[in-house]
Structures are given as C-alpha cells and as structure tokens.
Chain A
Amino acid sequence: MAEAIVTIDRPPSHDPSESAGPATRKSPLWVVVGALAAVLLFYVTGSLTRAALSNFVVVFSSLLLQAVPLVMMGAFVAAIIGTFVPASAFARLSRLPEPLQIPAAGLAGFAFPVCECGSVPVARRLVARGVIPSAAVTFMLAAPILNPIVIVSTSIAYRGRDIFWPMVLGRTGLGFVAAMIVGWVVGERDREGFLRVVATDDLSACGCRDDHAGCDCGDGHDCSHHETEPRWKSFFNYFAGDFAFMGRFLIFGASVAAALQTLVPQSVLGSVANTPVVSLFTMMALAFALSLCSESDAFVAASFVQFGVGPQLAFLVFGPMMDAKLAFLYNATFSKGFLRTVIGVVTLVTLLGTLWIEVLVG
C-alpha cells in the first residue's frame, strides 16, 4: 500500500486533501465488484437478457455522455479557481461571519449555473483554496437547484398545472434551506481533513516522492514544487487531474443508476402513491436510483401524476443533492462521514419540508 504522508500545518492555500488520512485505494476494486454485483443481480432476477443488456447500455452511455461534459465544465472552473484566483481572495471571504457565508454561498447558485456533477469539483477546489467547508458544501448542494436553468425547466414542466407555484417555489425554497442546513451541520467539521486524501499513486496524484513533505496530493494541487511550474501547466494539471479523479466514480455511479433503471420497473411505485410518508421515501429513492440531471428531472417528476405535490417535490429536492452518481463522487471527494451526513440531513429536511408543503397546499 502506498504511503500517505501526513501534513497538518499547511497554509490555507494548500489542498486539505493532502492532509492526514488513509489513502483511497479501493476505487478500481469497487468498480469491478460493482460490475460483478450488477451482473449477478441481473442473473438472479432473470433479467439477464439481450434486451435488458441493451437497455442497460443505452441508459449507462447516455447518463455518462451527459455527465462527462458537465464534469469537465466544473473542472475547468475549478482549475481557474485553483490557478488564477489568489488565495487572498478566499482568505477575505473566510473572514466574513459564518452566518453570512452560508446563505451567500447558497445564493451564488443563482449566478453560477452548474448542475450537480459540475459542482463537486468546484466545491472541492473552493475548500482546497481556503473557503470554509460549510460555505463550499452549501454552494455545491444549492447550485444544482437554484440555478436559473433549473428554475426555468421546472416552470416549463409544470406550466398549466394547478400545482405550478408550489412546485417551483417549493423546490427552490426547500432546496435552498436544505443546502444551508447541510452546510451548517458540516460547518462543525474541521477544514483540515475535510477533503479525502488522495493516494500517493492515485492517477490524479503526482506521486513524485521527492523530499517535499506532505506531497501526496493530486498533481494539479498546490504542492510547493509545483509552484515552480508555469501557471498554464498547473492549470492543465488541475483540469486533467479532476477528470482522472472524478471520471471513474462517475462511471461507477452511472452503472449503478443504469442497473437500477433496468431492474426496477417504475410501475411498482404506483402501489404506494397514495400512502403518506412512504410515497415521499419512494420518490426520494427513485430520484437516487435514476440519477437524473437537475435540468431535466422536473419533466420526469411531472409525469408521475399518480403522486401528489409532496412526493413530486421530494423527488426534485432530494435528487440533485443525493443520487447514485453523486454518492460515489461525494465519497471519493470528501472525508468519511460526509456522505452519511448529507443523506441523513437532506432526507430529513426533504421529508419535513415536503410534508409541510403538502399540508399547506392541501
């Protein structure tokens, strides 16, 4: 196993992913195990047919082809943040009171239209550059719901319906609140070690094993010896490194989502459509399984007319913050426990919020 070198005292401009912690080395193994599990599941359920495999390939390839450009766009922005935005800018932001930083980060989603796949590398880079984790996480979760493209697509999906306003305002408001609450909960954590450490021999790591203490980071990260490289080289190291880092987790997430879409018929949902609370959990689970882009999920949610306002809203609020793809990206990017926190808090807030709106709307 590769050595993960421990560094605790780092200037804020340095990537906390370089700090202490066990190196993440299991990703390729996970992919293989996941693929085998998917095949086994197909076999056990009698779904291992040519038609099922075709279905899997169609969904898997389309989810992946849609997500990769969005990740690259996020990686591009993240590389700009990492290379060209001075650390002092983030230090100034960090001096703002936390109660101001969290809502400001959430509202930044209005101005920065990224969907969920693109917001993860940006949040990662923001934390690496010294932004407090709570603000970065709030932005990461809020941007896919609050951005103008998503608001417009939700409006189009529900236009002409009597639940238009509850859906559009409910999604935006509840998404904003849920993102802030997760940010606030995460804010209790230490910035050092918030990002998961990258293994010395990870593809995105430099692994140069020189005498720069603590240099176990990604090769685009802020290692001191890389500071001697021209900026354009650092930029491309960030840019390519994020693809190498995120790509494999995206592949695994897309394969899980495709397997779930292939194995689980949506008709099973109809039986719980009128069961309070259960229908909310069902739609959250569906959002997790489908792993749709937040810019298109409203059209799918609106097609589940057998479900009321609450479950449809639960689908639209939960999905952009937590789905199969994101679970792997979060787990690879952030420290142990983050995924659990996001699942717990987002589920609770979505549940309570949608119940409240359902009662309100009647």
Chain B
Amino acid sequence: MNTTWSHNRLATGMALAIWAALFWFVIFADRTSFYFASRTTWLAPVGAVTLSLAMVGRFLSSRATHPEPLSRRQLRTLAVLVAPAILIMAVPPVTLGSFAVSRRSTAIKGAYVSMTGEDLTKGDLSLLDIFGLSYVGELDKLAPRAGSTSSFTGFVTREAGEGTGEFRLNRFMISCCPGDAVNIQLRIVGAPPGQFGQDDWVRVTGDIYPIGDGVIVDASQVEPVKRPEHPYLNSS
C-alpha cells in the first residue's frame, strides 16, 4: 500500500519533541528543584520519557496511506502548544519572592510537621522544626532553648511599621510544586539597618526566642548569600 508523509503527524511530532526537550532540559540543567518538590521529582523523568516515547512513535508512524494535511489553524494551535515550553527554557529560573509572600498564606500554624521524634532541645534547629512545633501548638518545647543560637537562610521582606533593624525572614515550603507553596516566616530583630532589601537572600545567625505563636530571632550576624540551589523547603 502506498504511503506518504503526513505533515500533520510530523508537526505534532515536532511539538512533542519540543516538550520532551523541555523536560530533559529541566533534568540536565538541574532545574527540577524550581518546579517540583522532592516527592514529585519523579514526574520530570516520567514527563521526559513519555513525551520522548510519544515523539518517536509519532515520527515513526508519520507515513500514512491517508496523510493528513496541515492547515494554518493547526499551525496556530501548535504555536500555542509549544510557546510555554520554549518560554520556560528561554527564561532564567525565577522563584517565588516577596510578591508571593503578600499573596499567600503564612504558616504561623500550618500543615507541615517535621517531627521525627528527635530531641529539639539540642542540636540544629531548622525552619521546618519551628514550623512543626508551632503547628502542634508545642512551641513551648523550645523554651529551654530560648537565648540559644541558631542559623536560618531565607529571603527578606519588610512590613510597614517595623524598625530599621527589623525584617521578616521567609522561606516557601512546597508539597508538590510552587503552586501549593506556603510561607514560613521568622521575625528578625537587631539586624544592621538598611543593608538588606526586599527579596535579598540572607543567612541569619542569632538567638531564638519563642514568643506566643511565633519565634523572634535576635540577630548577631546577617550575611548575604546566593539563592540556594534548592530554594524551596519540602514537607517530606
């Protein structure tokens, strides 16, 4: 039976190729942490493999006895389909920042519990630990550590009415992707006035004081740092 190339199938194959390339790009450019949480990282290879498989199959089956033409409308639809993939590859990876803090719920109390049964009265203390204790209403467990020193990394936001030596240290926590991000926030006092602006990433070292349903950090050192390779915290 005579077969000829189907332009429609070839074009759809190209669209699949661009999408497959996006997922491979995300994996090999080490950008998965910008789009996926640790528990959903497996989606990136699954996307890359399934799209590649579909692409190969589409190309291999592009010769047909009844080849489909490719209309202008189909080309426009393809353009819509591939535009986001090209956009994501083209722009440098951006993360949620101070704008998102103003839009999202802040986890004074939230859903993430990092309680591993560890003794939190000693050792390193993380933002997730503080959040977990806050969540179960057990911040008082930190009372023995009041005045002890810990370090936290996050980005800066400022609120109206705060003193010049104060700011909020923020970090987003994600479950699947940044679409479900929840903000964890600490109040920092005693910081060098006017040195750090909105969205600057900093590492704060200072004495912690659990007060009410939050934690205040009296900073002894605030240093600028690069945005971490894994900018979001993961709930598991």
Contact = CB atoms under 8 A, between A and B. Distances in A.
Interface in A43-90: 49, 51-52, 54-55, 57-66, 68-70, 72-73, 75-76
A68 B66 CA distance: 29
A247 interface: yes
Contact of B84 (A61, A156, A158): A61
Nearest to B3: A229
Contacts of B103: 55, 261-262, 264-266
B175 A28 contact: no
B64 A229 contact: yes
Nearest to A295: B176
A120 interface: no
B125 to A, nearest CB: 20
A63 B236 contact: no
A229 B62 CA distance: 12
B121 interface: no
Given A76-B50, A233-B61, A240-B12, A65 B35 contact: yes
Interface string B72-88: 01101110110010011
Contact of A28 (B73, B112, B235): B73
Interface string A236-250: 110111011001100
Interface in B40-93: 40, 43-44, 46-47, 50-51, 53-55, 57-58, 60-61, 64-69, 71, 73-74, 76-78, 80-81, 84, 87-88, 91
A305 B109 contact: yes
Contacts of B71: 201, 207
B69 A65 contact: no
B179 interface: yes
Contact of A201 (B60, B73, B104): B73
A157 B112 CA distance: 7
A241 to B, nearest CB: 8
Given A64-B84, A244-B81, A51 B99 contact: yes
A203 B177 contact: no
A10 interface: no
A65 B99 contact: no
A271 interface: no
A270 B122 CA distance: 36
Residue from B19, B54, B182 whose CB has the most chain A CB atoms within 10 Å: B54
B180 A297 contact: yes
Interface string B1-40: 1000000110111011001001100100000001111001
B120 interface: no
A27 interface: yes
Interface centre among B35, B81, B175, B180 (most CB of A within 10 A): B180
A31 B83 CA distance: 12
Interface in B99-156: 99-100, 102-105, 107, 109-113, 115, 135-136
Contacts of A64: 84, 88
A159 B113 contact: yes
Contacts of A156: 236
By DSSP majority rule, is chain B's interface helix, strand, loop, or mixed?
helix
A354 interface: no
B178 interface: yes
A119 interface: no
A244 B12 contact: yes
B205 interface: no
A13 interface: no
A278 B87 CA distance: 39
A337 interface: no
B21 to A, nearest CB: 13
A52 B136 CA distance: 33
Given A31-B80, A160-B136, A240-B57, A69 B47 contact: yes
Contacts of A257: 179
A25 interface: yes
A237 B60 CA distance: 10
Contact of A59 (B36, B43, B109, B179): B179
Nearest to A247: B81
A225 interface: yes
Contacts of A301: 111
A57 B80 contact: no
Contacts of A265: 102-104
Interface stretch (A100-108, A123-131, A183-191, A285-293): A285-293
A236 B57 contact: yes
A330 interface: no
Nearest to B78: A203
Contacts of A267: 105
Given A239-B58, A243-B19, 10 more contacts: A62-B35, A62-B178, A65-B23, A65-B26, A66-B179, A73-B46, A243-B16, A243-B51, A290-B180, A304-B105
Interface of A: 25, 27-28, 31-32, 49, 51-52, 54-55, 57-66, 68-70, 72-73, 75-76, 153, 156-160, 201-203, 205-208, 210, 219, 225, 228-229, 232-233, 235-237, 239-241, 243-244, 247-248, 251, 257-258, 261-262, 264-267, 290-293, 295-305
